[in-house]
Amino acid sequence: MQRFGAILKGALKAPKNIPAGDLAGMLHCNDRLFWDDVFAAAREVKRMCGREQTLLRGLVECSNICSKNCRYCGIAKSNRALTRYHMNVGEVKECIKRIRNSGMNAAAFQGGEIESEDNTSYYEEILRSCGGLEVTLSLGEQEEDVYRRWKDAGALRYLLRIETSNRHLYSSLHPRECSFERRVQCIRTLKRLGYITGTGVMIALPGQTLDDLARDIIFFGEMEADMVGMGPWIKHPAASLAGEAPPNERAFELSLKMIALTRLYLHNVNIVSSTALGTLGGAQGIELGISAGANVMMPNFTPEKYRSAYDLYPGKSKTQVK
């Protein structure tokens, strides 16, 4: 325990000042008092970096049409039970208006992954109508030229989760045509193009170890991530991964620990308290993410009629974000 005290002191002094082995050692520790100290230290780092104020980004889930078959995801292409939608530009503009009217200056557009000229120009048109609003995109892997066109049209940030930095686990969660290398390359491209770039992982995936999670935090540092979005994996009955493992009862608690350690390791970045935390943690879930070290919340502005069709995992559409 004394050793962990020294690690926390070092972590407060400078970013990237915790070796992977110590991150893993902390994740293996179940002492409540120790974790109270970690959460307090994470809040202290947030204060030192001037990130105490919680930032709000209005989330719009523009489309649930996806070309991919990720094994954990409820909107995977193979889920034929799902009603597919693609909001028209006018509907997205309505959401933008509601976001502005709520006093927010930032939005996040998320959708299934589609690589096509129609999809590229659809988001260009939307971005050009966002004048002054800070926009985050989360639209998956794309060619460099597409990322460049969206940047030129006004996008400021891009979130592309690596999902897990363990390439073997990554392969087991994705069909063969999804390449870990391409995903890493896309994150590097986004950085090079000048996006404020985010990545992140799912937590408590079947087959994922605490050592994997420790290495995920090191990966965020190696990618020079400007923001991190992480949340618990939630089992979806229609996803092919569902048959393989029971949900991990510690997923929520582990997600809070990952937020705190990521804050302690990276210091001055934006960390999202994800919708999945709110789904597992109930009314307090997202607030607990904030007190663990996160500083961004994403209230959902997707029109009610589409909410349940953006069905990444059960319970998501009912999650309340203040």
Binding site for ligand SAM (CB under 6 A): 72-73, 75, 110, 112-113, 138-140, 160-161, 163, 202, 231, 233-234, 236, 276, 312-313
Comparing CB distances to ligand SAM, the nearer of 174 and 215 is: 174
Report, in Å, the least distance between residue 181 CB and ligand SAM: 15
Residue closer to ligand SAM by CB (options 190, 312) is: 312
Q: Which two tokens stand for residue 189?
A: 């491209």
The answer to whether the beta carbons of residues 113 and 66 sit under 8 Å apart is: yes
Residue 96 vs 234, nearer CB to ligand SAM: 234
Distance CA 153, CA 123 (A): 9
For residue 248, which of 238, 233, 230 has the smallest C-alpha distance?
A: 233
Can you tell me the distance from the alpha carbon of 244 to that of 25, in angstroms, rounded to the nearest whole number?
27
By C-beta, is 140 or 293 nearer to ligand SAM?
Answer: 140
Residue 161 C-beta: closest distance to ligand SAM, Å: 4
| Minimum distance from residue 7 beta carbon to ligand SAM (Å) | 29
Distance of CA 55 to the CA centre of its chain: 15
* Closer CB to ligand SAM, 8 or 63, in the complex: 63
Number of Cα atoms under 13 Å in the Cβ half of residue 296: 23
Of residues 144, 48, 58, 71, the one with CA closest to residue 101: 58
First to last CA, the chain: 37
Helix (H) or strand (E) holding 90: helix 89-101
In angstroms, give the least distance from the CB of 194 to ligand SAM: 19
- In the complex, least distance from residue 134 CB atom to ligand SAM, rounded to whole angstroms: 18
Between 63 and 295, CB nearer to ligand SAM: 63
CA separation for the pair 322, 300 (Å, rounded) = 9
Total Cβ atoms within 10 A of residue 237: 10
Torsion 234-285-297-163 (CA) sign: negative
**Shortest CB 9 distance to ligand SAM, Å:** 33
> How crowded is the C-beta side of 8, counted as CA atoms within 13 Å?
18
Q: Do β-strands 157-159 and 227-232 pair in parallel, antiparallel, or remain unpaired? A: unpaired
Smaller CB distance to ligand SAM: residue 41 or 139?
Answer: 139
Residue linked to tokens 């489309």: 63
Give the shortest CB-170-to-ligand SAM separation in angstroms: 12
Closest CB to ligand SAM among residues 126, 276: 276
Of residues 74 and 293, the one with the C-beta less far from ligand SAM:
74
Measure the CA–CA gap between 180 and 187, rounded to whole angstroms.
11
Whole-number minimum distance, CB 131 to ligand SAM, in Å?
25
Instruction: Give the distance, in angstroms, between the CA of residue 302 and the centroid of all CA atoms in the same chain.
Output: 17
The minimum distance between CB 126 and ligand SAM, in angstroms, equals 16
